[in-house]
Each structure stands twice: as C-alpha cells, then as structure tokens.
Chains A and B, each alone.
Chain A
C-alpha cells in the first residue's frame, strides 16, 4: 500500500509528472482516507467524489499529453467559503445549507486552470466568524492532535484535514487570523498573502477590507506552489492589485545570512493576554534556530498593536453587517416557513438562518454604524487602523521580516470558550494587526507543548510573500516539526 498521504504536494506533483502515480489513483486514495477517517474530525462539509474523479481523469489526460502545469492532478480541499459552480457552498451556515452556487470563485477557477482536483469543501466557522470552528452549522471540527481540542478557526476544517493528511493541501481565508491560527493549532503551514494579491471574487465576504485567501499545506514549498496558482490580478475584484505574480518557488533556497528579524516587544511582553510560558519558550527556541542560520534578531516596537483587537471588532462587524444583508430569503438560501409579511420573512429567515455569533457581530456592526455612533466607533477605528499600519511601515524600514507567536496558547478544548466571546476574540490577539495593515504573514510549526503543536508567525512587508516563503522554507530544511503527523492518522 502506497503511503501517498505522507507525501507533500511538491513530492506528489513530481510523481504525477513522472507518471509514477495517476491522478485518479491519488484522488481515490484521499477520498478513501476522508471516507475512513473524517467522521472523527468532521473536517468536510461536502465531499465531491464524482467531480473529483472526473477532474482527475481529465488531469491524467493532460499529464499524458505533456506540458501539464505543476499542480495538475493534485487533489486539494477548498474551504466552503469559495463559491463552486454546481456544488453546495454553505459557508458553514444554515442560511446557505441549500445553496448550490451557480458560479465559481476566481480562486477555484485559477486552481482548476492549474490542474488542481477538488476533493471537497471543508468545514469552517459560520461565515468565517469564529476562532475555533465551533460556530459551524455542521458542528465543531476536531483537532487531529487531540480530538477534544478545537482545530482553530475559521479555516478549521482546512487545517484539520491537512494535519490528518485527508488532503495533501487546502485553501483557507484569513480575516483576522483564520488561516494562521488554525495552521498553528494543527501544526501545518499557512500563508495569508498581501491584501489584494488573491482575488476575493466568489469568496463569500465577511469583512471586505480584511478578507484574503491563501494556501494551507504541509510545508512552505507546498504553499509556494499553491500560491502560484491562487494569486493574480482579477478584473472582477476592484481591490485586486494589478501586479505580476512572481514564481513563489524560485527563491525558496536563498540563504538567510544577514536576514534582519524584528521581534515586536509588545508580542512577547504580553502579560495580560494569557500568554503561555511554554508556547513563548518554544517560539524563542525557533528564533534561536534562525540566529544560528545567520539571521539577526532585532527588537522593534509596534506600539499600537494592542489596539488591534478593539479596532478589528468595529471594522469587521461593521463591514459584515452590510455584507450579510443580502441573505434575506428572497433569491437564494434559507427562507423561513409561512412568513406572514415581508418583515416576518426578513427577520425570521435571518434570525433562524444565522447562528448566535453571526447575529452578535451583525448587531455590533449595525450599532457601530448607526446614527450618532459612526464617528466614535467606525471613524475612530479607521483612524487607529492607520496608526497600526504605520507601525508596520516604520518597522520594515529596519527589518526584513517580523516574527512573533501566532497564538498565546495551544489549541484549547471544545466548549472551553464558547460562553465567553471576548476570551475567544482575544485568542486572535497576535494575528489581527496583520489584516488591519494588509501585509502578508505565515504560520509555521515550531514545536509542541504537551503534545499540541505550536506555531510561529512570520510577517512580511507588502507583496513579500516570496521572502516569507523563503524564510519559512529555510527553517523547514533544518527542522522536521512540519513533518510530524498525529498518531491516529499516520
């Protein structure tokens, strides 16, 4: 029995190109793994067996014909936030439980063009609002390292599926840490690109000025391959940046000697955020590793970063309160039974179709934008956003990358924080500033605390994804944390 699940995308791609395995065989293999193991994890909402095999057959033909792109035939799982033509796209919500999208997101189109086979759609926090994957209408996702623990969120299904090797790689989206935090909790590598690098068209919007899609995989080099396919200018997205896409795999092997790493003191001195000492120590060990590779560690300041959580909880809810107004039971999605009038149709369809966390955020946003409060909340938050962003700009005058923990602690237990939204929000304390500024950032696995993975965050300047991937890849050449697999899914 071949152990395809122990292979990275980089390896599988080479095997496919060499004809050592067919896409159909590979796709069947992962579909079987999902069938056999996902009941423990609940990481998929929809498995696309038929479509996947059809795409695999097509890929095999292309491979045979030669000159097929690198990812041809590689099976990947997509977060259920991307609209997929003819396939249910639920966004983790009862609101869209019956929604078969009539069109493809640009990310899906791009991946398809690159030859990727879609295994299925992964579970997620409802409308990407959550940090634990517990707000999903389809139930909580479990962390493969400890089935009692959360996988993080909102891209929890994507992280869990890759960690358990039910898929060689996946796509995710990150509005306040939704790729990096689950990647850290599940011990995989995840990249949130620069805002505007990957098209948002067809990606169901949570907070439009913060949302960004990115790859989640076993390694930095896998993420580079996936980003090559995902990224690019899209004329259907006004916020997409008209800038050519470099080959993200090209610079992976650049040596790190002389690399200047900034360490924001606010991310290490964190006494109030419940920073776990062992997690911090693990991150520091990784920093030592970088030092030994020739990098220079420089303390920097991001003085306004402590305000990123409050700012985020104005900006994101405000944008989402409008973004989610389209779910009204009229043209698609959930519609309540026997509405007695128009208002009843609206309020019950939305009240019954959205979960509690989504409703909370919509209300916070509606409040923050309402007459008399706009300046105090929304405008103030937008001003602070400027300050937070300027902090990064100043820092990158001095350093090449910034490193910090991804989360204050390892994956917490399912149910632990569900009654206390604020403590849940604070688990994103280290990841949010990146989204407010729009810069790219990664999470890479750097060790374990009590058997649970620890992630380290690498933040880069605008459009420096290649630099981040290079920095992460070099570390992964020296360590094997990213190769660890949970016992139960080996």
Chain B
C-alpha cells in the first residue's frame, strides 16, 4: 500500500494501452438485415444469420465500412486499400457461430494518432495502432432461469469498431483523457451514439508496470469491459496497486484477463483455467477482401463534419470564448449543440458560455447526468438568459429561476411571473425603498457621504433585501448616489 499512496507510484512507471469498442450507429447489423435498435424483447432482433443457422452467409454492411473509414480519416490514419475479415474461433454461448468475424492481420484502419490534453495543460499525442471492424456478441443473462443462464442474441452482429491504442498512456488520468477524446470524436463524426450505459462504448485496458527508466514493458493484465470513465480510472489504479504490491512482495504478474468488480473495487482473474487462448484466426472464406479506393477516401474526408478541435478554435476566434470554456463545451457534441442553440437564441455567446460551463454544468455534475438528460432544454435555457440580458431579472434571481425550471415548474417566464420575480425598474418604487433605508440608517449614511465607500454595499444590500431582490441593482446604486449629493 505504501507505494500506492504516492500519487506517482514511487519508482514505478505505469504503462496503459486501451482497446475501445465503439458500436457503430448503423440501422442494421454488420452482416445481416436485422435491426440494431437497443432494448427490444430478447431474441426478437435476430435473423437466420445472427442465430447462425446452418447454411447462412454474411454480407457486409456498406455503412459500417463507411463509418470505419470516417474514423480513419478523422484521426489521420492510414486507411487500408485492402482489408480482410478473419474468423476468431472460440466457444461461448453468446457467440452463435463459435467464431467471431473480426479483422486480424489486415485491419481497415492502420496507424493514426490523437492528441490529449494533460492536467497541466500540455498536449500529448497518443498513437492509435489500428481500428478494425468486427461483430458484437450477444448477451448472457445471469438471472436465475432454474439454475441456468439465458442467452439473448439481439446484440449479436451489431457492428463494432475496435480502436486499439499504442501503450502510450502513463496514468489512469491519461487513459481517461484519451478515452474521453475518442468518445467525443466518434459522436462528432456520427459513427457511435457513445451511450455507455447501453454498452455502445466500452473499453478494455491493458495495464502493466515497470521500474521507471526500464525500457521493456512489464507483463500486462487485460481489464475487461469497463463501461464508465470513472470505472476506467478506478480499475486501472486498483490494478496498478495490485501489480506493484505483488511485485514488491516478490511475486510475478501473470498475463491474463481480469474483470473489474466495481462493487468491491477490485480486479479478479476471469478464467482461471483459461489455456492461453488459441483463437486460430484465419481469413473468413465467406467474405472477400474489402477494397477502398483513394477516391473514396477523399470523398469521406470531404464529408467529415467539424471536429472537436476545429470547433474549439472557432469558438475562440469567432465567439471570443476563453480557451477553457471552448474546451469544456466542445468536449461533448451534445453540450456544444446545446451551446450553439443557446448562443444563437440569446445572441450573447459569452453569457451563454459562462452559464453553460458554470450553472448548467454544476447542476449536471451534481446529478451525474448528461446534457441530453437535462430537464431544461436549450430553448428554455436561452429564454432564461434573455431575461437577464433584457433586465427582467438579475443574474442572482436567474439562478433561483433555473432551480425552479430544473424542478419542472415551467419556463423562465412562467417562473418569473408566478413567483413575481420581475425586476422593479419603476424609479419611484425603488426611490421609496432607498429613502426608507436612508431614514432608518442615518449615521451609516453620514459615513457614506463622508467617503466611506464600503458603506455603498450595505445600502444596496438593504434596498435589495427590502425589494426581495427584485430591484435593479444598477438603478439602486444610481439612486443612492443621487441622494448623497
């Protein structure tokens, strides 16, 4: 434990590579015409191909290829002229054919890279070794069916892009930053919905440790199927700790697959008697090589949407956002779309950015929800900000209004109306408050007049209190100053 308490793992260096599985957002499966929609009744989205009836054959989905090429272009990778599907052989009940159709020595996307931002603001380039197309497996449901396991093959045959990184990451935080970067990218280019709860975006982590300065890698363990950013960080850290403790106690790390148990916060060996898996890969004779032409590559490159980094730059250059705000907003496609709508409706990008990275993000984080689940949509949020701009309410009142909107009490205007929060701009009414406060605090008023500027805050505060926050602070200020003359 001693070394683990050290934030940088003492004399140990951590080496991490990630294998990310992104479900491609096609309508139909990679090799059959069954739907890929999530959440259907078990086994109702399976065709003869998906349940591997005798005699059936796979035919490749055009859109799956398109999406893989899109990804390749987005990370400036080599997209192969010729790629080949191979059979990966193993028996498991959620794998109906007894082999998974994947790609082995000739993947569709070759070497590419992506930049991540470190905590200190520096950039680091993470290599992407390859990305290949393959089919997803079904699901084993371990609820008790009279002591048996139930198999649902709806997911079997859903297209996956497996994105394999180089072992370039040196901490769990870097791994998370990389994973988030890929997560954002696949959503920007529209190839994956990124839904981690539904398993659309999952990750295996290869983790090893070595004494700092040593060139060769330590023996790695593969952590399987981690489905949230938080768990990735925790799983890696707990595994690093395990490996270091093991080595420091004179033991040796074994190359194996381990499962992260988020409840116990531990990793454990998955298949104890697993004979070093011999997958017997060979080219699938039912499928022919996939050929990609330069023309097609250029066509796909041309149709790429604005990528996160380009968008961030545009926000800085054209909307004068701070680099920080622009970075936070563009890190999520959904959030940046939200921002785009709000900024357009309010006509005030700065104000929109401040409120989205501030009040809105704080509420999302507090409730651990994504922007698409926010109870206040972009239009409603824009209306709220417009009420600040047109002086209907103050920024302070706006926070209360947002709280009410968040609780489902209606639109900004509804809340302002029903709670009577509209700012008082009637000079006569405010003047009455000011006069009353001055009358009640004559000595303080003398001090103010005598040049004790701090007293101004006191008077404004008293007036605001009396008006229940509805007086326009600027107006109050002005009136008090006029009384001082």
Residues on A facing B (Cβ under 8 Å): 82-83, 89, 91, 96, 99, 101-103, 105, 200-205, 207-209, 235-239, 318-319, 321-322, 324-328, 330-332, 342, 346, 366, 369-371, 374, 378
Residues of B within 8 A of A91 (CB): 54
Residues of A within 8 A of B285 (CB): 207-209, 239, 319
Residues on B facing A (Cβ under 8 Å): 48, 51-60, 87, 89, 91, 93, 96-99, 151, 278, 280-282, 285-288
Cβ contact within 8 Å between B59 and A83: no
The answer for the CA separation of A374 and B89 in the assembled complex, in Å, is 14
Residues of A within 8 A of B281 (CB): 369, 374
A103 to B, closest residue via Cβ: B48
Nearest 7 interchain pairs by C-beta: A325-B98, A369-B280, A208-B285, A209-B285, A326-B52, A202-B55, A204-B54
Residues of A within 8 A of B56 (CB): 201-202
Q: What distance in Å separates the Cβ of B267 from its nearest Cβ neighbour in chain A?
A: 23
Chain B CB within 10 Å, residue with most, of A207, A236, A378: A236
Cβ contact within 8 Å between A201 and B58: no
Cβ contact within 8 Å between A332 and B53: yes
Q: What distance in Å separates the Cβ of A157 from its nearest Cβ neighbour in chain B?
A: 18
Residues of B within 8 A of A366 (CB): 89, 280
Q: A83-B54, A102-B48, A346-B91 are in contact. Are A236 and B59 (CB under 8 A)?
A: yes
Q: What distance in Å separates the Cβ of B157 from its nearest Cβ neighbour in chain A?
A: 13
Chain A CB within 10 Å, residue with most, of B51, B52, B97, B286: B286
The answer for the CA separation of A96 and B53 in the assembled complex, in Å, is 11
Q: A239-B288, A322-B98, A331-B52 are in contact. Are A370 and B278 (CB under 8 A)?
A: yes
Q: What distance in Å separates the Cβ of A126 from its nearest Cβ neighbour in chain B?
A: 13
Cβ contact within 8 Å between A238 and B91: no
Q: What distance in Å separates the Cβ of B135 from its nearest Cβ neighbour in chain A?
A: 14
The answer for the CA separation of A332 and B46 in the assembled complex, in Å, is 14
Contact of A325 among B91, B278, B282 (CB under 8 A): B91
A81 to B, closest residue via Cβ: B55
Cβ contact within 8 Å between B54 and A99: yes
Q: A239-B288, A328-B98, A374-B282 are in contact. Are A322 and B54 (CB under 8 A)?
A: no
Cβ contact within 8 Å between A238 and B58: yes
Chain A CB within 10 Å, residue with most, of B89, B99, B282: B282
The answer for the CA separation of A321 and B281 in the assembled complex, in Å, is 12
Q: What distance in Å separates the Cβ of B147 from its nearest Cβ neighbour in chain A?
A: 11
Chain A CB within 10 Å, residue with most, of B52, B54, B60: B54
B287 to A, closest residue via Cβ: A238
Residues of B within 8 A of A207 (CB): 285
Name the prevailing secondary structure of the A interface residues. Answer: loop
Contact of A83 among B53, B99, B280 (CB under 8 A): B53
Cβ contact within 8 Å between A238 and B288: yes
The answer for the CA separation of A326 and B89 in the assembled complex, in Å, is 11
Of the A-B pairs whose beta carbons lie under 8 Å apart in the complex, a sample of 13, sorted by A's number, is A82-B55, A103-B48, A201-B56, A205-B286, A209-B285, A238-B57, A238-B58, A322-B282, A326-B54, A326-B96, A330-B151, A370-B278, A374-B282
Cβ contact within 8 Å between A204 and B55: yes
The answer for the CA separation of A346 and B90 in the assembled complex, in Å, is 12
B283 to A, closest residue via Cβ: A382
Q: What distance in Å separates the Cβ of A406 from its nearest Cβ neighbour in chain B?
A: 25
Q: What distance in Å separates the Cβ of B62 from its nearest Cβ neighbour in chain A?
A: 12
The answer for the CA separation of A89 and B54 in the assembled complex, in Å, is 9
A330 to B, closest residue via Cβ: B93
Residues of A within 8 A of B52 (CB): 326, 331
Q: What distance in Å separates the Cβ of B280 from its nearest Cβ neighbour in chain A?
A: 4
Cβ contact within 8 Å between A331 and B96: yes
Cβ contact within 8 Å between A325 and B286: no
Residues of B within 8 A of A83 (CB): 53-55
Cβ contact within 8 Å between B97 and A325: yes
The answer for the CA separation of A200 and B87 in the assembled complex, in Å, is 18
Chain B CB within 10 Å, residue with most, of A101, A238, A378: A238
Cβ contact within 8 Å between B278 and A208: no
Residues of A within 8 A of B87 (CB): 322
Cβ contact within 8 Å between A237 and B280: no
Residues of A within 8 A of B59 (CB): 235-238
Known: A322-B99, A328-B98, A371-B280. 11 other contacts (CB 8 A): A201-B57, A236-B57, A238-B58, A238-B60, A238-B286, A238-B287, A318-B282, A321-B89, A324-B98, A326-B54, A366-B89
Cβ contact within 8 Å between A331 and B280: no
B88 to A, closest residue via Cβ: A322
The answer for the CA separation of A209 and B58 in the assembled complex, in Å, is 14
Residues of A within 8 A of B97 (CB): 322, 325-326
Residues of B within 8 A of A101 (CB): 53-55
Residues of A within 8 A of B286 (CB): 205, 208, 238-239
A371 to B, closest residue via Cβ: B278
Residues of A within 8 A of B55 (CB): 82-83, 101, 105, 200-205
Residues of A within 8 A of B93 (CB): 328, 330, 342
The answer for the CA separation of A105 and B53 in the assembled complex, in Å, is 11
Residues of A within 8 A of B151 (CB): 330
Residues of B within 8 A of A331 (CB): 51-53, 96
The answer for the CA separation of A203 and B53 in the assembled complex, in Å, is 11
Residues of B within 8 A of A238 (CB): 57-60, 286-288
The answer for the CA separation of A318 and B53 in the assembled complex, in Å, is 20
Residues of B within 8 A of A322 (CB): 87, 89, 97-99, 280, 282
The answer for the CA separation of A205 and B57 in the assembled complex, in Å, is 9
A90 to B, closest residue via Cβ: B54
Residues of A within 8 A of B91 (CB): 325, 328, 346
Residues of A within 8 A of B53 (CB): 83, 101-103, 331-332
Cβ contact within 8 Å between A325 and B57: no
Q: What distance in Å separates the Cβ of A127 from its nearest Cβ neighbour in chain B?
A: 9
Q: A236-B59, A328-B91 are in contact. Are A370 and B280 (CB under 8 A)?
A: yes
Q: What distance in Å separates the Cβ of B290 from its nearest Cβ neighbour in chain A?
A: 10
Residues of A within 8 A of B51 (CB): 331
Cβ contact within 8 Å between B54 and A378: no
Q: What distance in Å separates the Cβ of A31 from its nearest Cβ neighbour in chain B?
A: 26
The answer for the CA separation of A436 and B363 in the assembled complex, in Å, is 66
The answer for the CA separation of A91 and B53 in the assembled complex, in Å, is 13
Residues of A within 8 A of B282 (CB): 318, 322, 369, 374, 378
B277 to A, closest residue via Cβ: A371
Cβ contact within 8 Å between B89 and A369: yes
A343 to B, closest residue via Cβ: B91
Chain B CB within 10 Å, residue with most, of A318, A322, A378: A322
Q: What distance in Å separates the Cβ of B117 from its nearest Cβ neighbour in chain A?
A: 41
The answer for the CA separation of A332 and B51 in the assembled complex, in Å, is 9
Residues of B within 8 A of A239 (CB): 57, 285-286, 288
Residues of B within 8 A of A325 (CB): 89, 91, 97-99
B288 to A, closest residue via Cβ: A238
A325 to B, closest residue via Cβ: B98
The answer for the CA separation of A101 and B54 in the assembled complex, in Å, is 9
Q: What distance in Å separates the Cβ of B4 from its nearest Cβ neighbour in chain A?
A: 36
Q: What distance in Å separates the Cβ of B260 from its nearest Cβ neighbour in chain A?
A: 23
The answer for the CA separation of A203 and B286 in the assembled complex, in Å, is 12
Residues of B within 8 A of A89 (CB): 54
The answer for the CA separation of A99 and B48 in the assembled complex, in Å, is 14
